[in-house]
C-alpha cells in the first residue's frame, strides 16, 4: 500500500473536527502518502467555517459539502467516491477514534492474505455511557446470530478497506454498520482488530438507542435477505481457439 485516503463524515462537530484532522496529519505525514476527505452532512453549527479554516492550513485536506442532510452512510460513500487512493480509512468525526490506530490497521492488512478487503476496528474498552454500551452489546449479539459475520463490533468508526470493493457493495442507508457481512457476501474476508476508544470531546451524540434499535431491526432483515439471495462464483477467461 503506497497511499491512503482518510474519509471523515461530519455533522455538527465544530469542536472536534479541527483537533481530529490535525491528529491525522501528525500520525500519517512521513509514513504514507495520504489525503483527507471530510464530508459535511449539512451541519447547522459553524462546522463548515472550521473546515474552511482547516482547508486553508492543511494541504492534504479536501472538503465535500452535502446540499441536504443525507446521513452518515451516504457521507462515507460520497467521500469514498471522491477519494484519490485505492485504500480508504474511515474515522468518526466526533474524535472518539484514535488516528494513531490507522497505521496499525495498515500493518494488519499488509500481513493478511490477498482475500482480505476489510480491517475493522474493535472497541474493546468503550468510553461511552453505560446505556450505549449495553445497547451496542445486545445489537452485536443479535447481528452475529442472524448474519454470522464473525465480527464483534461493527459500529466502530475506524475501518480500513479497499475502495473498489466498497463501491461494488449494494448501497443503502446505514450500510456502514454492516460492512463485514457485506464484504463477506461479496466473497472477501474481514478481520477485526482491537483499537483505542476515547470519550467524546465536545458536543452530543447524534443517535439515541431507541431510534437505532428500530432502524437496526429493519436493516438487519434486509441484509440477511441479501446474504440468503447471494451467490459468488469465480470465472476464468477462455484463451484458446477451437481446433479446425
For the chain, the domain total comes to 1
Q: Is residue 236 part of a domain?
A: no
| Beta strand ranges found along 99-146 (DSSP E) | 116-123
Cβ contact 106:160 at 8 Å:
yes
Length of the chain: 244
Q: Is residue 32 part of a domain?
A: yes
Query: Taking the CA of residue 108 as centre, how many other CA atoms within 13 Å lie in the half-sphere pointing to its CB?
Result: 21
CATH of the domain at 218: 3.90.550.10
Encode the chain (244 residues) as per-residue pLDDT tens digits: 899 999 999 999 999 999 999 999 999 999 999 999 999 999 999 999 999 999 999 999 999 999 999 999 999 999 999 999 999 999 999 999 999 999 999 999 999 999 999 999 999 887 656 666 655 666 666 666 666 677 788 889 999 999 999 999 999 988 898 999 999 999 999 999 999 999 887 876 655 544 555 556 777 777 777 777 777 787 888 887 777 6
Average pLDDT, the chain: 88
Strand arrangement, sheet containing 116-123: 61-65, 33-40, 3-10, 87-90, 159-162, 116-123, 189-195
Domain housing 146: 3-228
Q: Is residue 20 part of a domain?
A: yes
Q: Is residue 244 part of a domain?
A: no
Q: Is residue 37 part of a domain?
A: yes
Distance of alpha carbon 188 from its chain centroid, rounded?
A: 16
Owner of C-alpha cell 451467490: 231
Q: Is residue 234 part of a domain?
A: no
Q: Is residue 105 part of a domain?
A: yes
Q: Is residue 233 part of a domain?
A: no
Collapse the DSSP code of 116 into the 3-class scheme (helix H, G, I; strand E, B; otherwise coil) and give the result.
strand
175-211 per-position pLDDT tens digit: 898 999 999 999 999 999 999 999 887 876 655 544 5
Amino acid at each position: 500500500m503506497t497511499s491512503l485516503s482518510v474519509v471523515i463524515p461530519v455533522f455538527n462537530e465544530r469542536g472536534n473536527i479541527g483537533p481530529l484532522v490535525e491528529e491525522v496529519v501528525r500520525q500519517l505525514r512521513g509514513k504514507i502518502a495520504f489525503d483527507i476527505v471530510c464530508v459535511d452532512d449539512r451541519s447547522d453549527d459553524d462546522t463548515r467555517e472550521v473546515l474552511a479554516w482547516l482547508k486553508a492550513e492543511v494541504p492534504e485536506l479536501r472538503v465535500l459539502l452535502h446540499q441536504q442532510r443525507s446521513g452518515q452512510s451516504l457521507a462515507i460513500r460520497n467521500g469514498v467516491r471522491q477519494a484519490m487512493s485505492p485504500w480508504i480509512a474511515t474515522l468518526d468525526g466526533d474524535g472518539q477514534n484514535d488516528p494513531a490506530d490507522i497505521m496499525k490497521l495498515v500493518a494488519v492488512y499488509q500481513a493478511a492474505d490477498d482475500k482480505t478487503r476489510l480491517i475493522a476496528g474493535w472497541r474493546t474498552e468503550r468510553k461511552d455511557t453505560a446505556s450505549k454500551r449495553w445497547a451496542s452489546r445486545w445489537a452485536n449479539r443479535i447481528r452475529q446470530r442472524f448474519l454470522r459475520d464473525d465480527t464483534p463490533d461493527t459500529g466502530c468508526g475506524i475501518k480500513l478497506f479497499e475502495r473498489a470493493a466498497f463501491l461494488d457493495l449494494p448501497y443503502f442507508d446505514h450500510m456502514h454498520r454492516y460492512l463485514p457481512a457485506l464484504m463477506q457476501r461479496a466473497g472477501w474476508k474481514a478481520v477485526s482488530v482491537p483499537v483505542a476508544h476515547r470519550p467524546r470531546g465536545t458536543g452530543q451524540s447524534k443517535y439515541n438507542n431507541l431510534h437505532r434499535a428500530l432502524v437496526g431491526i429493519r436493516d438487519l432483515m434486509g441484509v440477511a435477505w441479501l446474504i440468503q439471495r447471494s451467490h459468488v462464483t469465480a470465472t476464468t477467461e477462455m484463451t484458446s481457439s477451437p481446433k479446425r
